[in-house]
Chain A
Amino acid sequence: MSDSENNNSPAEDPPRVTLPDAEPRGYFEGESMTRRKVFTTASLALGGVASMAVVLPVVGFAVAPLFERGRERWEAVGKLDDFGSETYKQVVFTETPGIGEVGKTTAYVRKGNPEFDEDPDEYLAVSTRCAHLGCPVRFVQAAKNFICPCHGGVYDFEGKRIGGPPVRPLDRFQTRVRNDHVEVGPRYSVTNQLKAVRARDPGEFTGGIWEYLYPPRPSTFPPPSN
C-alpha cells in the first residue's frame, strides 16, 4: 500500500509498464544523461567560459609586468677624469623614469684597480642599495668599507660582504664610456666571487643552494658577460 508511493522504485521492483525499445536508439528509461543534466552541465560550462573570458585577460593584464622588461637606460654621470682607482665618487642618476625624484638612485663609481685584478680601463659603479633590506650604504674612506646604517651590514672596498646580515655583495650597475663620459646602465647583482648575475632584490642569495630559492626574474636585464 504505502510502498507504491515511492516512484523511484528500488531495483528489484519490475517496471510497472514495459516500454518498447526506444527509437531512436539512445533514449531509454533510466538514461543516465537526462535532459536536466545536459542543461545543467551546459549552463555551468557556458558560465565558466563567460567568466574565464573576463577573468583571464584581467589577470594577465595584472601579471604582465612580471614578464616585461623596461627600456635599457644609460645615463652619463661624469667625465673620465672625475673617477680615480683609489676611492669612490658618489653619483646620482635616474634608475626608474617617470616618477621624479624618487626614481633616482645613488651609486659609487671608481676606475678599475689592478690591486684587485681589475682592468684599469674599466669603470665600476657600485649600488648603494644594501643587500640586506635595501637601506642606502655609505662609503667610509678611512675604513675603505661600505657601511649600512640600518642593521650594521659592512662591505669591503670591492663591495663584498664582510659583516652583518647581508647575504651577498652590493649590486652593481653596468658601465660604458661614451664621448669621454662614464655612463651607467642597468643594475646587476654579483655572487660572492663577483660573478655577474641577473639583478636580485635585497635579501636574496646569489650563491650556494639558497640561490635556487630566488630564481631570476624575466623583468630584469641579463647580466654583462664576464
Chain B
Amino acid sequence: MKLSLPKRKSKQGEPAPAEGDAVAAEPELSRSERRARKTAAAKHHSAEGAKDVAGWVDSRTNATGIYTALLSRHVPKGTNWFYTLGSATMFIFAMQAITGVFLAMYYVPSTTQAYASITHLTNDVWMGEFVRGMHKWGASLMIILIFLHMGRTFFFGAYKYPRELNWVIGVVLLVLTTVMGLTGYLLPFDQRSLWATVVANNITASGPVVGPYLADFLRAGPEVGATTLSRFYALHMMLIPGLIGALIGAHLFLVVKLGTTAPPWVRGTRPKGALDEQSVPAGVPSSDDAEVPVAASAAATDADPAATESAAEPPADAPADADEPDGDGDGQRPAAEPDEGEASA
C-alpha cells in the first residue's frame, strides 16, 4: 500500500493539490452549508448570543483555552500530593498580599507611631489580631513551604533539562521572600525588630567591598534611623511584592509550557512511534523496513494533515529500499514499534 503524500503548498500561482489539503477543500462546501455556518457565527456574536455572558467573554478572550492550558493540562502518571507544594506557596503569597494590604490600612510607617499603630491594630481593631497573626505566621509558613517545594523539585529531579531556568527563577523567588522577611521584621519597630535589623545590617556590611555600601543603602545612612523604616516599608510594600508577583508569573508560564515531571519511581512510557534508544546508535540511523509503512500509516490515521505530512515522510523511499539488508545505514528514519525491530546494536 502506498501512501499518497501531500505536496507542499506553493505560495503563488500553482493550483494546490486537492487531496489531503483541508484549506483547498474548503470551497467545496455546498452553498447551504456555508450559509448555515455563517448564520451560526453571526448568532454567536450577536446580541442574542450575549445572553451567554461567559460565551461572549470567552469568544473574545479565549478564556476557556487559557483555563484548559492552566488547569486541565495533562500531567504525568504518579503526580501526587507533593506536587501541590508550589500551589500552596502561591496561595500563602496571595494570603500575605491580601492581609498585607489590610494591615497597611492601619499601619503608620513612622518611627514614633509605628509601634503604637501596631499595638492599636492588634489590640483594638476588630479581628486585627487575627489578620496580623495570619500575616505573621504566614510569613514563616511561606518560607517553610518554599523549602519543601524546593526539596520536592530536587529529590524528584524536576530541576533537570529543560526546567533549569525555572529552578533559577525559584531560587530568586526564595531570596526575594527572605528579603520580604527581613524588611517586614523591622516594621513593628519594637526592640526586637530594631536589633534584628541592626544585626542584619551589620552582617550585610561585613560582606567584602560592596558590603559597607549595601548596608548604607539599606539603612539610608551610617546608622539605622527614621529613613530606614520608610525604606524597608517601601521595599516590603511595593518593590519586592511586585518582583515576586512577576517572577511567579514567569515561573507558572514555564510550568505550563514545559509540563511537570513524573516522580522518579514512575517508569516513563514511550509514545507510539518513538525511537528505541538501543536501535539507534548515535549518528547511525538504522532501518526497520518492514514495519515502517505500517507504523506510519497507523500513526497517521487519526492525526491532522500537518502531522500526517511529517509522519508520512519517512516511508517516501521505504518501498525502494525494501529489499536491502537491514541496518546498512541508508539514511532512512525508523518509525516502527521499537521492540519488534531486529537491529539491537
Q: Which residues of chain B have a CB within 8 Å of any CB of chain A?
A: 10-13, 111-112, 189, 191, 194, 198-199, 201-203, 205-206, 208-209, 211-213, 215-217, 219-227, 229, 231
Contacts and interface: CB of A to CB of B under 8 A. Distances in A.
Contact of A202 (B206, B208, B209): B206
Nearest to A99: B111
A201 to B, nearest CB: 4
A201 B224 contact: no
A201 B12 contact: no
Nearest to A131: B202
Contacts of A100: 111-112
Given A5-B10, A5-B12, A213-B209, A63 B217 contact: yes
B216 A217 contact: yes
A177 interface: no
A138 B229 CA distance: 28
A98 B226 contact: yes
A204 B205 contact: yes
A90 to B, nearest CB: 19
Contact of B11 (A5, A63, A95): A5
Interface size bracket, A side:
20 to 34
B222 A217 contact: yes
B226 A201 contact: no
Interface of A: 2, 5, 62-63, 65-66, 68, 70, 95-96, 98-100, 102-103, 133-134, 199-204, 213-217, 219-220
23 contacts: A5-B11, A5-B13, A62-B217, A65-B220, A65-B221, A65-B227, A70-B222, A98-B226, A99-B111, A100-B111, A102-B194, A133-B199, A200-B212, A201-B202, A203-B206, A213-B209, A214-B208, A214-B209, A215-B209, A217-B212, A217-B216, A217-B222, A219-B222
Given A133-B199, A133-B203, A204 B212 contact: yes
Given A2-B10, A100-B111, A102-B191, 5 more contacts: A68-B221, A99-B112, A214-B209, A219-B216, A220-B222
Given A62-B217, A134-B199, A202-B202, A99 B225 contact: yes
Contacts of A214: 205-206, 208-209, 211-212
Contacts of A70: 221-222
B93 to A, nearest CB: 25
Given A100-B112, A201-B212, A214-B211, A133 B202 contact: yes
Nearest to B227: A65
The listed residue with most B CB atoms (<10 A of its CB), out of A68, A201, A203, A214, is A201
B124 to A, nearest CB: 22
B298 to A, nearest CB: 32
Contacts of B13: 5
A216 B219 CA distance: 16
B222 A199 contact: yes
A103 B206 contact: no
Given A134-B199, A202-B202, A95 B212 contact: no
A133 B204 CA distance: 11
Contacts of B211: 204, 213-214
Contacts of B222: 70, 199, 217, 219-220
Given A215-B209, A217-B216, A99 B221 contact: no
Nearest to A221: B222
B217 A65 contact: yes
Contacts of B215: 201
Contacts of B199: 133-134
Contacts of B10: 2, 5
B205 A96 contact: no
Contacts of B209: 213-215
A201 B208 CA distance: 12
B243 to A, nearest CB: 15
A133 B202 CA distance: 6
A98 B225 contact: yes
Contact of A103 (B203, B216, B219, B225): B225
A1 to B, nearest CB: 8
Given A98-B225, A103-B225, A203 B202 contact: yes
A213 B217 contact: no
Contacts of B221: 65, 68, 70, 219
A106 B208 CA distance: 28
